[in-house]
Amino acid sequence: MKIWKNAGLAAIIATALALPARAEDVINAVHFTPTQVGFAQSFLRFVDKVNERGEGVVRIDVRGGPEVIPNTQLGAAQQSGLIDMINNPAGLYLEIVPEGDAFSAASITPWEARENGGWDAIDKIYQEKGNAKLIAWADTGVGFHIWTVDEPKLQANGMLDFNGLVLRASPLYKQFFDSIGAQAVVMPMGDTYTALERGMINGLAYPSIGYKAFGWDKFTRYRVDPSFFGMDVLISMNLDAWNGLSDESKAVLEEVAKEFEHESSEAMRKEDAETRALMESEGMKVVEMTGEGRDAFLEAAAKSSWDRMRERDPTHVEELRALFN
């Protein structure tokens, strides 16, 4: 009997040794802007870093950008498992996870959110509501500017005068614009050039990053400062796809993500400053809001994010506000 047991154990060990090594994990990914735009380029740097460090363990295959899956559909595509990983702003995910507004309203950095428990708290919400695992909060340190075709005027209190402005908006800041009396039209980024060309809009809000790549600077000659909101660009995975990864693959992704949050923030700040300086050298004029109007503008921006979250689902508002402010 002892001989049989030893022989059986030997057979099990021999079988285990004969099994092939686990195959490399492959993650299919899509980014939310065209490849030439800075946000896509930033994501591709993340991909390269993962693929280099995870060689033989994990590989991200980028399928493309909005030509593959429109950015307004990325959240649902990831939730259903149609795509494994997306690089997409939380603002385009709010119908699924309203709590994503915390990222645009935040006054802390990604690494501070990891330290104070904010990252874990919101990651849990994304898992429960979106079937998504948050990987990184990227490209922080820059915000959204208003850009106009004609020279904008300021109100007596120093806030931008929105009379006569028709602004292209995304779902992220439509409610904010409504709250301050601006006329905002929600439309896909891809329609913005034509809308400017045809005079359907005479302004928009967008970061300086990627602005020239879209060609919008051919029409808008004024930038309004200060910027509002923070960047809410996330890298996330379908939760089932994440759970199917090896521990080694997860470790590579998490390690690179933490490094990338710092690196992408620094890179975006640098690109933002360089892009704004370049456009100013090409004739872009800057209009600066001042005084009480400036303060009211920024306060209204932050308030709109929390108000919108509260309207959709008040459950986590106070918890997240305490963690992200």
Please give the Cα distance from 298 to 228 (Å, whole number): 6
Record the pTM: 0.87
Angstrom CA distances, 232 to 85, 104, 137, 153, 211, stand at: 16, 5, 7, 29, 17
- Give the DSSP H or E segment for 28: strand 25-31
Please give the Cα distance from 268 to 152 (Å, whole number): 27
Per-residue pLDDT at 188: 86
For residue 202, pLDDT over 70 is answered with: yes
| Residue 204 and residue 135 in contact, taking contact as beta carbons nearer than 8 Å | no
Per-residue pLDDT at 175: 85
Per-residue pLDDT at 21: 61
Q: What would the pLDDT profile of 261-316 be if each residue is shown by its tens digit?
A: 999 999 999 999 999 999 999 999 999 999 999 999 999 998 999 999 999 999 99
For residue 11, pLDDT over 50 is answered with: no
* CB atoms closer than 10 angstroms to residue 115: 11
Please give the Cα distance from 322 to 10 (Å, whole number): 58
Q: What would the pLDDT profile of 128-173 be if each residue is shown by its tens digit?
A: 999 999 999 999 999 999 999 999 999 999 999 999 999 998 877 8
- Rounded percentage of the chain residues whose pLDDT exceeds 90: 86
Instruction: Enumerate domains of the chain plus CATH numbers.
Output: 17-141+231-270 (3.40.190.170), 144-228+284-316 (3.40.190.170)
For residue 14, pLDDT over 60 is answered with: no
Look at residues 66, 235, 213, 65 and name the one whose alpha carbon lies nearest to residue 138: 235
Measured at the alpha carbon of residue 232, what is the angle toward residues 229 and 237, in degrees to the nearest 5? 170
Residue 264 region, left (φ>0) first, then alpha (ψ -120 to 50), else beta? Answer: alpha
For residue 206, pLDDT over 80 is answered with: yes
Please give the Cα distance from 310 to 294 (Å, whole number): 25
Measured at the alpha carbon of residue 307, what is the angle toward residues 301 and 311, in degrees to the nearest 5? 150
Burial of 274 (0-12, 13-18, 19+ CB in 10 A): exposed
**Entry field: residues in the chain:** 325
Please give the Cα distance from 48 to 220 (Å, whole number): 35
Look at residues 47, 85, 209, 78 and name the one whose alpha carbon lies nearest to residue 140: 209
Name the pLDDT band for 1 (thresholds 50, 70, 90): very low
Q: What dihedral angle (degrees, nearest 10) is formed by the CA atoms of 168, 170, 171, 173? A: -80
